[in-house]
């Protein structure tokens, strides 16, 4: 395991994903225990915003997510699990907008049938990126899907060539994590923090 230079405790649970903001000033962490979001200031290494989305009757599962350039909205693919007296109902994954200031989901949009293949949840969901002007979302999977950030309307597709080497089709595009990396292994998933790493340590 790589040496850590610092550890940052999280209030909402075990880290599931980590994203660095485009200006490298904030880190966005999604957590799995209660499906929360935490925002960390890179300079001070302090949590400056945190909240959970789960309620007594609803749970949410994040599959992919990224913040807009202004750090006000968090775009994601989520699945809603509703709890009833004698059963659960699990919805299909949806495009989701979380308002980071209001600390709640402000919009969900059904995923079109033709886009369901790369929005199946877990490793079947393509990662999301936001354009520098915040107007478009790019979802990376077997193809690149371009969506309007305002309503998730599909604008275009970019087909990707199939690799000649077997197994390379499982390589995915990742976020810009030059300064951070999640080192919470499966055997240490109970730890509610993550470590800051420096490239010089690698």
| Tens digit of each residue's pLDDT (9 = 90 or more) over 1-55 | 556 677 889 999 999 889 999 899 999 999 988 899 999 999 999 999 999 999 8
Task: Using DSSP bridges, classify how beta strands 36-41 and 58-67 pair: parallel, antiparallel or unpaired.
Answer: unpaired
Q: Which of 55-69, 114-128, 170-184 has the lowest mean pLDDT?
A: 170-184
Q: Residues of 139-149 as b/e, b for ≥16 C-beta within 10 angstroms?
A: bbbeebbebeb
Give the pLDDT score at 166. 63
- Both tokens of 8, joined, read 């940052």
139 neighbors 153 (Cβ within 8 angstroms): no
Q: Is the pTM of this model over 0.85?
A: no
Place of tokens 């935490």: 38
Give the pLDDT score at 107. 96
Residue 133 has pLDDT above 90, yes or no: yes
Each residue's pLDDT tens digit, 84-131: 888 888 888 899 999 999 999 999 999 998 888 778 755 556 789 999
Domain 6-196 has CATH 2.40.50.140: no
The domains of the chain are located at: 6-196
State the Cα–Cα distance between residues 140 and 146, nearest whole angstrom: 9
Query: What is the rounded average pLDDT for all residues in the chain?
Result: 81
Give the pLDDT score at 184. 36
Q: What Å distances lie between residue 141 and 117, 121, 138, 151, 166, CA to CA? A: 9, 12, 10, 20, 17
State the Cα–Cα distance between residues 190 and 171, nearest whole angstrom: 27
Name which residue leads in pLDDT, 200 or 62: 62
Model confidence at 178, in pLDDT bands (50, 70, 90)? Answer: very low
Name which residue leads in pLDDT, 79 or 165: 79
């Amino acid at each position: 395991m790589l040496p850590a230079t610092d550890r940052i405790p999280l209030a909402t649970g075990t880290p599931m994903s980590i994203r660095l903001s485009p200006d490298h000033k904030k880190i966005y962490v999604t957590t799995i225990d209660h499906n929360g979001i935490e925002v960390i200031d890179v300079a001070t290494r302090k949590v400056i915003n945190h909240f959970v989305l789960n309620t007594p009757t609803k749970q949410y599962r994040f599959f992919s997510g990224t913040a807009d350039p202004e750090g006000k909205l968090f775009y994601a693919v989520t699945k809603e699990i509703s709890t009833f007296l004698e059963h659960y109902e699990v919805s299909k994954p949806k495009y989701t907008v979380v308002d980071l200031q209001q600390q709640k989901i402000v919009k969900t949009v059904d995923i079109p049938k033709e886009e369901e293949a790369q929005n199946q949840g877990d490793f079947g969901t393509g990662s999301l990126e936001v354009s520098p002007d915040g107007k478009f979302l790019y979802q990376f999977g077997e193809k690149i899907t371009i969506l309007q950030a305002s309503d998730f309307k599909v604008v275009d597709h970019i087909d990707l060539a199939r690799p000649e080497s077997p197994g390379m089709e499982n390589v995915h595009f990742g976020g810009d994590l030059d300064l951070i990396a999640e080192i919470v292994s499966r055997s240490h998933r109970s730890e509610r923090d993550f470590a800051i790493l420096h490239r010089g340590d690698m």
